[in-house]
Amino acid sequence: MAQRTFSIIKPDAVKNGHAAAVLADIEKAGFKIVTIRKQSISKEQAQGFYYVHKERPFFGELCNFMSSGPIFLMVLEKENAIADLRKLMGATNPASAEEGTIRKKYAKSIGENAIHGSDAEETASFEIGYWFAGYELI
């Protein structure tokens, strides 16, 4: 059965002109783009999205970065979408990401790592609902 996940093309990848290449990799890997929206987000919106990390030392830096420029918010669908997107993204730190992964190809540092992907079913439904209304997901 098809599963949905939530993804963001982060400000570094958009600024560096990699958004279309990242989308092409996602489509080549068999994901359907259910919906996609380009926008900038506020620091407060980033803080709400990443609230699970609020006690981490990098929280401020992360929220400043995520609100530093336009991003693409999207919902993706395929069988096993959550795990398969995580695999396609590569490790959080691009220095240890596998060859061919999006972070290996397009990211420079652990803080600015090109793409976000939900890490579990529960987080995927929270994240999809945080950014999109039901009528946008038909």
Choose between 6 and 34: whose C-beta lies nearer to ligand ATP: 6
Residues 88-107 touching ligand ATP, rule: CB under 6 A, are: 92
Task: Tell me whether residue 18 is one of the annotated catalytic residues.
Answer: no
Which two tokens mark 85? 């997107």
Alpha-carbon distances of 122 from 42, 46, 116, 132, rounded to whole Å: 24, 18, 15, 16
83 contact partners, CB below 8 Å, separation of at least 6: none
Q: Which of 47, 113, 124, 128 binds ligand ATP (CB under 6 A)?
A: 113
| Contact predicate 88/7, CB 8 Å | no
Q: Which stretch binds Mg ion (CB under 5 A): 15-23, 28-36, 116-124, 127-135?
A: 116-124
103, 91 contact by CB (below 8 A): yes
Binds 62, which of ligand ATP, Mg ion, none (CB < 5 to 8 A, cut-off by type)? ligand ATP
Closest approach, Cβ 135 to Mg ion, in A, equals: 27
* Sites of contact with ligand ATP (CB under 6 A): 53, 58, 61-62, 92, 110-111, 113, 116-117, 119
